[in-house]
């Protein structure tokens, strides 16, 4: 089965003499996340064209309701085309010719790359919201309005973690029209939406579809995700364009597509306004985004964990570890707590929890509604600021679910020799070490690996192999383990 490829629909053209070439950024996901590069066609002459059967669509609207054409006319002036130019270093012959066998090996050449995307006017004084990947590393930005007027623009601020950027026209015209903004939380599955942008650089285009899903996260496209999924056609060049509802208001910024070919295949993603607008406001005011940080390691709660921990709910986020000295530790959050709501908002996945903490902002206070030993309580916490350092440390965010199964492994005490052999860090102070895993055993198929440290059995600490054997042997039914997996502490349920 082929892996799905996430494309950011930005059309790029490499300028090498008079030869237009195309490329686009993509992220491939299959368990893990990495970036790949997939070729894209960014000129009309190279874009494949398929003639479709004619169809009739009634779009005149009902009495008292605007038609799709009316909505389009109102919104189009607020959506712009963005072109950017950047200089990239290349290897090869002089003046960028990729033929070193003529001139001998040379380095230090440059080539100009031009990208095409879309943007949305959000303030009459020239502020435009778009995707970060549309303007990243740009030396020159030009914005073309609906009426073909062209203006130079500059970057106000970018946020690569959410793929949001704000630019501003250097000489904004007085008649610039900002788009009205709606509450994306009001969207329902099946609501009709319009996607507006500049696909393949052919000019402003409007497509129609429905809201296919909401709250899409953990896709591996961006660090912070809460996507609206739509089947409105989105193609390279649509990046940064508008997703609007039937009131003619902005509800999302078109960002990515799921495609095996690089073109539209019915699955597109937009950043909802409820996520994009606060980020945009922060970029306008401060030029950066300050996110909240709690300092916990988290995992999703499933039915097995819920039963093993005797929880009254199978929803929420399990606190697998609390970083020493973190805001969570100071607030009294404990390992094993299950958070159901953040500031009154339901969180059903690690992605939702992470977004809620980040969006609250550094220095803010949030109420965590959580279950501890089966009882619901509210724990107030004052958030710190997420940085590159604390965001990558164990106990700072969401981590993959724990491996499952235990039969088929060999254990040893956590000795200095075991630490050296398996590279176990000093944070693991107690427990027993997994030294061997049979390849076809339940543990091997589940993902347990040598070097994992088992800390607890059914919430009882184990200091050596004898403690483990006693606790595991006395357990009846499913067994709840606490495992330090390469520096990340996670709970795992062993089905017996």
pLDDT tens profile 439-458: 666 666 666 678 888 888 88
Structure tokens at 251: 């509800």
> Which pLDDT belongs to residue 425?
77
**pLDDT confidence band for 73 (50 / 70 / 90):** very high
486 is catalytic: no
Whether the per-residue pLDDT at 470 is higher than 50: the answer is yes
24-33, 65-74, 382-391: least confident range: 24-33
For 223-248, write each residue's pLDDT tens digit.
888 899 999 988 888 899 999 999 99
From 7, 162, 163, 226, the catalytic residue:
163
Q: Which residues of 116-132 are buried (b: 16+ CB within 10 A; e: fewer)?
A: bbbbbbbbeebbbbbbb
**pLDDT confidence band for 339 (50 / 70 / 90):** very high
Give the integer Cα–Cα distance in Å for 466 and 478.
20
163 is catalytic: yes
**pLDDT confidence band for 407 (50 / 70 / 90):** low
395 or 267, higher pLDDT = 267
What DSSP element (H or E) covers 114?
strand 107-121
> Which pLDDT belongs to residue 230?
94
> Which pLDDT belongs to residue 216?
87
> Which pLDDT belongs to residue 108?
55
Residue of 190, 179, 197, 196 whose CA lies nearest to 247: 179
In Å, how far from its chain's centre is CA 379?
28
Question: Considering the chain, what percentage of its residues have pLDDT values greater than 70?
Answer: 74
Q: Domain 409-494, what architecture?
A: Roll (2.30)
> Which pLDDT belongs to residue 211?
95
Whether the per-residue pLDDT at 404 is higher than 70: the answer is no
Whether the per-residue pLDDT at 90 is higher than 50: the answer is yes
Whether the per-residue pLDDT at 431 is higher than 70: the answer is yes
**pLDDT confidence band for 279 (50 / 70 / 90):** very high
Calculate helix-pair angle for 350-360, 273-286, nearest 10 degrees: 30
> Which pLDDT belongs to residue 305?
79
CA distances from 285 to 19, 48, 132, 361 (A): 41, 43, 17, 14
Q: If you average pLDDT over residues 371-378, what whole number do you get?
A: 89
Q: If you average pLDDT over residues 65-86, what whole number do you get?
A: 90
Residue 384 in contact with residue 293, Cβ under 8 Å? yes
> Which pLDDT belongs to residue 113?
76
Q: Which residue has the tokens 């199964």?
A: 405
> Which pLDDT belongs to residue 19?
27
Longest alpha-carbon distance in the chain: 80
From 133, 245, 326, 396, the catalytic residue:
133
3-state secondary structure of 477: coil
348 is catalytic: no
Q: If you average pLDDT over residues 172-194, what whole number do you get?
A: 94
Residue 289 in contact with residue 272, Cβ under 8 Å? no
Q: If you average pLDDT over residues 350-366, what whole number do you get?
A: 90
> Which pLDDT belongs to residue 373?
84
Whether the per-residue pLDDT at 417 is higher than 70: the answer is yes
Reported pTM: 0.65
Whether the per-residue pLDDT at 38 is higher than 60: the answer is no
CATH (one of 2.30.42.10, 3.40.50.10140, 2.40.40.20, 3.40.50.720) for 292-391: 2.30.42.10
Do the strands 479-485 and 453-457 form a parallel or antiparallel pair, or are they unpaired?
antiparallel
**pLDDT confidence band for 429 (50 / 70 / 90):** confident
Q: If you average pLDDT over residues 65-69, what whole number do you get?
A: 81
Topology alike, domains 1-43+67-289 and 409-494:
no
CATH topology of domain 1-43+67-289: Thrombin, subunit H (2.40.10)
**pLDDT confidence band for 52 (50 / 70 / 90):** very low
For the chain, domain boundaries: 1-43+67-289, 292-391, 409-494
132 or 91, higher pLDDT = 132
Backbone angles phi, psi at 308, to 5 degrees: -65, -35
In Å, how far from its chain's centre is CA 447?
25
From 42, 162, 239, 306, the catalytic residue:
239
Q: Cβ–Cβ contacts within 10 Å for residue 390, how many? A: 16
> Which pLDDT belongs to residue 91?
53
> Which pLDDT belongs to residue 222?
80
Residue of 223, 471, 158 whose CA lies nearest to 358: 223
> Which pLDDT belongs to residue 27?
37
Give the integer Cα–Cα distance in Å for 12 and 10.
6
Whether the per-residue pLDDT at 204 is higher than 90: the answer is no
Give the highest mean pLDDT range of 5-9, 28-32, 198-202. 198-202
Provide the strand spans (E) within 233-362.
242-244, 250-258, 268-272, 292-293, 296-300, 317-322, 338-342, 345-346
341 or 443, higher pLDDT = 341
> Which pLDDT belongs to residue 23?
32
**pLDDT confidence band for 377 (50 / 70 / 90):** very high
For 110-125, write each residue's pLDDT tens digit.
777 788 899 999 999 9
Mean pLDDT of the chain: 78
Residue 321 in contact with residue 395, Cβ under 8 Å? yes
């Amino acid at each position: 089965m082929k892996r799905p490829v996430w494309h950011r629909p930005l059309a790029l053209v490499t300028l090498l003499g008079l030869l237009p070439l195309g490329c686009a950024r993509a992220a491939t996901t299959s368990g893990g996340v990495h970036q790949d590069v997939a070729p894209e066609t960014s000129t009309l002459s190279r874009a494949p064209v398929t003639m479709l059967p004619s169809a009739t669509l009634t779009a005149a609207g009902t009495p008292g309701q605007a038609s799709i054409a009316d909505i389009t006319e109102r919104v189009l002036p607020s959506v712009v085309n963005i072109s950017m130019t950047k200089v990239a270093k290349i290897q090869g012959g002089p003046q960028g010719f990729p033929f070193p066998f003529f001139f001998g090996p040379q380095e230090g050449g440059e080539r100009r790359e031009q990208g095409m995307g879309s943007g949305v006017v959000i303030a009459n004084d020239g502020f435009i919201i778009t995707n970060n990947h549309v303007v990243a590393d740009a030396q020159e930005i030009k914005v073309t309005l609906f009426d073909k007027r062209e203006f130079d623009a500059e970057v106000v601020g970018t946020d690569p973690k959410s793929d949001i950027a704000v630019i501003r026209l250097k000489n904004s015209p007085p008649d610039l029209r900002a788009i009205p903004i709606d509450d994306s939380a009001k969207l329902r599955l099946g609501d009709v939406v319009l996607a507006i942008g500049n696909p393949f650089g052919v000019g402003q285009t409007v497509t129609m579809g429905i809201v296919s899903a909401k709250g899409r996260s953990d896709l591996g496209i961006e660090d912070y995700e809460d996507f609206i999924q739509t089947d409105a056609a989105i193609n390279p060049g649509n990046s940064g364009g508008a997703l609007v509802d039937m009131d003619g208001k902005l509800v999302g910024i078109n960002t990515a597509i799921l495609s095996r070919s690089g073109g539209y295949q019915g699955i597109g993603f937009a950043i909802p306004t409820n996520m994009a607008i606060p980020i945009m406001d922060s970029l306008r005011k401060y030029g950066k985004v300050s996110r909240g940080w709690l300092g916990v390691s988290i995992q999703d709660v499933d039915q097995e964990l819920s039963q093993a921990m005797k929880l009254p709910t199978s929803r929420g986020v399990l606190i697998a570890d609390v970083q020493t000295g973190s805001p969570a530790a100071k607030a009294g959050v404990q390992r094993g707590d299950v958070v159901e709501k953040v500031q009154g908002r339901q969180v059903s996945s690690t992605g939702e929890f992470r977004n809620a903490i980040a969006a609250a902002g550094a220095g803010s206070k949030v109420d965590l509604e959580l279950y501890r030993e089966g009882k619901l309580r509210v724990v107030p916490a004052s958030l710190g600021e997420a940085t590159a350092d604390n965001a990558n440390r164990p106990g700072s965010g969401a981590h993959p679910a724990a491996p499952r199964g235990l039969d088929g492994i060999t254990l040893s005490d956590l000795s200095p020799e075991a630490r050296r052999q398996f590279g176990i860090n000093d944070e693991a102070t107690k427990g027993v070490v997994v030294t061997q895993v049979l390849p076809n055993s339940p543990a091997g198929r589940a993902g347990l690996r040598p070097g994992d440290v088992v800390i607890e059995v059914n919430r009882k600490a184990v200091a050596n192999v004898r403690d483990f054997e006693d606790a595991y042997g006395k357990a009846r039914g499913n067994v709840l383990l606490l495992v330090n997996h390469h520096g990340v502490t996670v709970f795992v349920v062993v089905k017996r």
